[in-house]
């Protein structure tokens, strides 16, 4: 079997075109959806992510403001900036890029963001809403993974989904979103014994560990859907995911590539969340 690709670039183009249309409709009512992105310090990966987010806003007709601060910025100063953005009517979404320098309590900063502007979906109010099925912003990466499953018309009801990874940003919200679609969900993590015994049972596997070749062909049931959230570098410095792509392609029914899979979808869902924040604020 050779797996079919779930193309995150193509799906992103479609969804971003819809965002641009809805943004234009808001603009006709004098509301331009606005995203503020805060970057503290000079983490090279964060700089690339932040640049891509700001560029994606521009391309879809969203207004964005990038605030860059030296790593020496104090927690109090950062909290004051978040408060100011909470009160700024031109800003509908606030994103504080993680990781933050060690002297800043990231959770405290996240909780300072108004839940109405929490387009990353990291606030405990957003997490609680997701857990209980109430309206709220969903974290962009697992939300993008769900859109990819939706794009292939995959019926999750009664299917067995295995999520590898239990982070607050991806693994846990991913499991909740799959559960909300009536999948039977298993969460595997660093203390899981015999990972392969779990993944071999899975109709859907989401790999979100941050380590190469966590999932190999011998761990995948023929025909399974494999979603690769990983963003790693191989020996040659080439971007690769958590999945041994060449091997798993021979067994899986569907697979997301890296690059060009989940990565662009994460940014797309940030645009969707920012647009929705603006729509909610302007009714």
| Closer residue to ligand GUN, CB minimum distance, 107 or 282 | 107
Phi then psi for residue 34, to 5 deg, are: -125, 135
CB of 37 to ligand GUN, least distance (A): 8
53 is catalytic: yes
* Alpha-carbon separation of residue 42 from 38, 58, 97, 216 (angstroms): 12, 23, 11, 35
| Nearest residue (CB) to ligand GUN, 120 versus 244 | 120
Strands (E), the chain: 4-5, 34-40, 63-69, 93-96, 160-164, 184-188, 204-207, 225-228, 232-233, 239-240, 254-255
Annotation says 147 is catalytic:
no
53, 117, 138, 147: which one is catalytic? Answer: 53
Nearest residue to ligand GUN, using CB? Answer: 98
Binding site for ligand GUN (CB under 6 A): 95-98, 120, 140
Q: How far is the CB of 185 from ligand GUN (least distance, A)?
A: 22
Got the DSSP string for 252-276?
Answer: -SEE--SSSSHHHHHHHHHHHHHHH
What is the nearest approach in angstroms of ligand GUN to the Cβ of residue 97?
A: 5
Residue 14 Cβ vs ligand GUN, minimum distance, rounded to whole Å: 21
Task: Select which of 117, 118, 120, 244 is catalytic.
Answer: 120
120 flagged as catalytic: yes
Which among 205, 222, 223 has a CA at the least distance from the CA of 214? 205
Residues with active-site annotation:
53, 97, 120
């Amino acid at each position: 079997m050779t797996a079919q690709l779930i193309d995150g670039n193509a799906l992103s183009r479609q969804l971003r075109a819809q965002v641009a249309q809805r943004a234009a409709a808001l603009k006709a009512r004098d509301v331009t959806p606005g995203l503020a992105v805060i970057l503290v310090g000079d983490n090279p990966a964060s700089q690339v992510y932040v640049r891509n987010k700001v560029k994606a806003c521009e391309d879809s007709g969203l207004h964005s403001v990038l605030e860059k601060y030296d790593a020496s910025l104090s927690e109090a100063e950062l909290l004051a900036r978040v408060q100011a953005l909470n009160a700024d009517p031109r800003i509908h979404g606030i994103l504080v890029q993680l990781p933050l320098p060690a002297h800043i309590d990231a959770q405290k900063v996240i909780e300072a963001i108004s839940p109405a502007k929490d387009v990353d979906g990291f606030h405990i109010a957003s997490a609680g809403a997701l857990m209980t099925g109430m309206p709220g912003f969903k974290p962009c990466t697992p939300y993008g993974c769900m859109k990819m499953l939706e794009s292939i018309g995959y019926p999750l009801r009664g299917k067995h989904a295995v999520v590898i990874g239990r982070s607050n940003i991806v693994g846990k919200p991913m499991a909740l979103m799959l559960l909300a679609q009536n999948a039977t969900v298993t969460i595997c993590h660093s203390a899981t014994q015999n990972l392969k015994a779990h993944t071999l049972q899975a109709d859907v596997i989401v790999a979100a560990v941050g380590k190469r070749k966590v999932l190999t062909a011998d761990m995948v049931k023929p025909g399974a859907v494999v979603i690769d959230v990983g963003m790693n570098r191989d020996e040659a410095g080439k971007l690769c995911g958590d999945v041994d792509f060449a091997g798993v392609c021979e067994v899986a029914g569907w697979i997301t590539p890296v690059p060009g899979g989940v990565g662009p979808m994460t940014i797309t869902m940030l645009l969707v969340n920012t647009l929705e924040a603006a729509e909610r604020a302007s009714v």
